[in-house]
Amino acid sequence: MAARFSSVAGREVASASPRKGVVGCTRATGSLPAPDYLVKRRARLSRSRDFDAVYRKGRSAASRTLVVYSFNRDADDDEDGETRLGLAVPRRVGDAVTRNRAKRKLREAFTTVSADLEGTCDVVIVARPGLAETLERETPQWLETELRGLLARTATASEQTA
């Protein structure tokens, strides 16, 4: 059963095979460049056992809106030697749109801060309720400064115990 379209373009889209699809500007087709702040997929923590290892073995530092856990990995354990990021933004932060906006801003701030990190480490950032309101009030540089301070505190804590 064929649908009726008022335009020629509509008929062409409907008759296009699924493999060809509609040529457009989507990231899936690769026609748009990826933003600079995106963390590469392989540089993300995604498995719960990786999160658990950082929580158990790593050091933490907290502020009013964020908790940062940092765990220095051995170079032998990792195949690519990158710093990996994990984000935990609970529902108490806000609705889905608010949580995704907060995660995007955290990833963006982390990419600028991660250039200063030495060695290979796993970092988990846990957002606390109130982060969304603070991100709306403050400048983007505030988040970078906050992350730098918390990461420095986790580094000094790991040096003191070593």
pLDDT at 21: 46
Domains of the chain listed by start with CATH number: 41-161 (3.30.230.10)
**Beta-strand relationship, 66-72 and 121-127:** antiparallel
CA distance 89 to 94: 9
Q: What pLDDT is stored for residue 126 in this prediction?
A: 96
Report pLDDT for 159.
59
Are 107 and 71 contacting, i.e. CB atoms less than 8 angstroms apart? no
- Over the chain (162 residues), the average pLDDT of each successive run of 10 is 55 52 50 56 83 93 96 67 90 96 94 84 94 93 95 75 52
Kindly write down the DSSP assignment for every residue of 55-78, as one continuous string: HHHSEEEE-SSEEEEEEEPPTTT-
Q: 0.75 cut: is pTM over it?
A: no
